[in-house]
Amino acid sequence: MTGHPEQGVMSAKKIGFVELHCPGRWGTNYVVFAILPLLILFLLSIEMVHIFYFLSTIAIILALIILFDVKSRRKVLRGKKHVGMALQLQQLSLRWLCFNSGKGVHPWKREELSLPQTIADVSMADLLQEIEIPEGLIEPELVQTSQPGSMFGCLAGMFLSLFFIGGAMTYAMRGGGASIFGWFIVALLLWNMARLVLGLSFIHRSRKLPAILRRIGRGKIIGKSFVVGPGWVKFGKQVWRCDRDMLLIRRTGYRAITSGIVCLFAGPEKRRQLVFSGVQDDDFRILFGAWHVDHVRFEFIDSELS
């Protein structure tokens, strides 16, 4: 955003808070890493077990895990009985996406149901209301989504990389062709270690980090960026407008709000899912601010940047 626009407070009519479903991995991981191995050991302990029944059982369990996970990811609201805004959102028949992109919602009845342009999980209320909304004229700006890593994944990846680096260096010491291949593997593992560190959400969410390092950390070395403008968001040829479409924001289940959130732009034409490194992610805050400005300018949608 150019210049130094004044900051304002977001109107309560523009955003609502309900209990949104937060899909996590604990249930799936429990089944995969606990129940499934125990079942395999049990089946192996039975004498003369037929291989067909063994493989069929494993296939059925994996299919149930996938179905459960897909259902959980697409679910919008927590619980079964809803009132107020949650009931209105349920009547919209909106579903989350399993992938990044999906078809629009038909029929689209946001205005008829008196729904605001943004609905977020109630646990985010305080942090989202602290985001300052720009006042006055703002210009379109590029924002990047993220693929935030976890501290556990970073430490585990670092440990494994160091373990294999030792082996690769020993192999490289042999000389000849083995030396070239060994040092190549060492270089790849060192790159992976740097990528894991930069992938931590508290490192790459700030725009003060050099652009190339942010792209590496966010997993966006190549690919399109989103363009956000006053009251609209654009990706390629697809546009979402604050006067027609809707933004949903929820947690990623097992992650803290400050380390990972998922957004969904939905409307009659298209749905698009975006992941950011928490509410403190600079790119998310820019998008959130532009989406809720009072001075909406749809004529900027066809600007040179977009």
Q: Output the pTM of the full model.
A: 0.83
Quick one: pLDDT at residue 13? 77
Question: Taking 50 as the threshold, does the pLDDT of residue 3 lie above it?
Answer: no
- Given pLDDT bands bounded at 50, 70 and 90, which one contains residue 302? confident
What does the block give as tokens for 111?
């205005």
Q: What's the CA gap between 254 and 2, in Å, rounded?
A: 37
256-291 burial, b at 16+ Cβ within 10 Å, e below that, comes to ebebbbbbbbbbeebbbbbbbbbbbbbbbbbbbbbb
How far apart are alpha carbons 15 and 248 in whole angstroms? 10
> What's the pLDDT score for residue 1?
41
| Between 69 and 185, the higher pLDDT residue | 185
Pairing of strands 118-121, 15-18: parallel
pLDDT higher than threshold 60 for residue 6: no
Residue 145 has pLDDT above 80, yes or no: yes
- Cα–Cα distance for residue pair 213/142, rounded to 1 Å: 16
Contact between 226 and 233 under an 8 Å Cβ cutoff? The reply is yes
